[in-house]
Every structure is written in C-alpha cells, then in structure tokens.
Amino acid sequence: MDHFPTNWGNPRSEDVDSYNTYPISSHIGKVPHSVTQIAGYGHTTGHPTSHTLQPVVTGTSVLGIKFKGGVMMAADNLASYGSLARFRDVERLHQVADFTVLGASGDISDYQYVKHLIDSQMIKEYNADDGHTLATPNIYEYLWRVMYNRRSKMNPLWNTFVLGGVHQGKSFLGAIDLKGTPYQAPSIATGFGSHLAQPILRKELETRGGEDNITEEQAVEILKKSMKVLWYRDARSMNKFQLAKITAEGVTISEPMSVETEWAFAEKIRGYGA
C-alpha cells in the first residue's frame, strides 16, 4: 500500500491543487467540476470551506464613553499585519445611521464585511420608504444576531464591535465580541484598551459622578488621554486617531489627529537590553 496521498492519482486534475498534499476535499470525484464552481459550494478548487481561525489584518482598541447629551468614541487609523504596521490610513469608526456609529477592533476584512451587511440593511430599510428607520438599539440587536449566529456555525467574525448612538434622548453605548456576548456600559474599551484605558475611563466617570457630569469637551480630553496611554504602551497602536461624536444633533467624525508625547524618560530606562 502506498501511503502517500499525492501518489494516489487525481480523479479530475482541475479539482486538485498539485502543491497541496493533504487533505483533499471528500467530495472530489463524486461531484462534477461544473457543480463545485457554483457560488456557495465551498471553494472552486475543491478544498473544504475554510473558516477564520485567527485574525490576519487587525485593528487594535476602540474606546467609547458617554457624556451629557451623547457618546464619544475613539479608534486609531492603523491596520496591522501581525507586528507590521501595514495600513496607516484605515478608518475604524463608521457612521451607519443618522445617530449611530460603529467602531471595530479585530480582523479588518471581517469588519468591512459587517459594514457592508449593515449598510445593505440600512438601504433596504430606506427603500421600504415607510417612514421608519433602524435606530441604534435595532442595529445593535441585528449586529448581535449576526455575531451570535456566526459563532454558532463555528465560523466567527473575529471582531469586537462597539456601537455608540443616541436614541429617544438617551445615549447608547454597547459592545459585541466574536462569541456574540453583548453588553452595555457607560464606558467601553476593547482589546488592549480593556486593560489600559478602561480603568482610566471608569475612574473619570466615578470621580465626576457619572456621565451627566461630563461635558463634550471633557469627554474629548479623557479619550485623548487614554489614546496617549495606549500609544505609549500598546505596540499595535498608532499616534493617529479619529474621534466620533454622537449627539441628538447627529454624528461628527473628526479628521485624524495626534497627541503630544514625551519620550525623554526612555533614555533613563535600564534593564531591557539597553
């Protein structure tokens, strides 16, 4: 018995990637090539449908905090390829409705797919022309179902999303991760930010006595301070970020900005090879 699969012969050569040794999809030979080429039937090469088992091009933390009259969000413009700072002008805050902003950390292609899904849904609702539109809680519920159903298929979208908005006079800030876990809170930080920025955001909320005692200007300062801390310590971050403001007046997403940093102290650090 020859145990080397590539020597077993190919039933249909166009179905086989000759550089791939194993596995060969089980339906090769049983299903004609013309059928495997129909969209949705796995891959045309005859390989099994692949699932995202790890993120590839990624975005780091997204921050969000409620203030009196609205929500402020922040995310930098970097899309990393592992440790490589691959794309430096990616917008990770996206306006999905009149009073709703979606922020994404994790896999960028999965984010772009979800952005496409939600935008398509918004167009569908607009075309119905029935006087209704999806508000922030509706979009949040939709996003949760998408994420939960994908995790249930064991094929997750590798992201943590933050959704900020204003609905019926109240501000809304919620997050959903790749396992479909939804939660709402007065401040949210994803990824590295959950360790570095969330304690800062929570302390600001606590010492000022809650979101109603934070002004728009103060929210900007708090987020800038948090983004600075992330830039100092998160090696996958970048000192070029955008802020999104959502109030009853609508959405404003800023131009990319940066914060003043001070690196002189680095001279004095000893013990890490220096």
Residue positions annotated with a catalytic role: 52
**Residues of the shown chain interacting with another protein in the complex, contacts defined by CB under 8 A:** 51, 53, 144, 148, 151-152, 154-156, 175, 177, 179-185, 194-195, 198
Supply the DSSP string of 139-169, one letter for each residue: HHHHHHHHHHHHHHTT----EEEEEEEEETT
Task: Quote the least distance from Cβ 154 to another protein, whole Å.
Answer: 6
Task: Quote the least distance from Cβ 178 to another protein, whole Å.
Answer: 8
CB atoms within 10 A of CB 184: 13
How far is the C-alpha of 173 from the C-alpha of 183, rounded, in Å? 9
Helix, coil or strand: residue 170: strand
Task: Quote the least distance from Cβ 137 to another protein, whole Å.
Answer: 14
Task: Quote the least distance from Cβ 147 to another protein, whole Å.
Answer: 8
By beta-carbon proximity to another protein, the closer residue of 59 and 156 is 156
Enter the tokens of residue 167.
């609905």
Beta-bridge mates of residue 247: 70, 250
Supply the DSSP string of 242-271, one letter for each residue: EEEEEETTEEEEPPPB------GGGGG--S
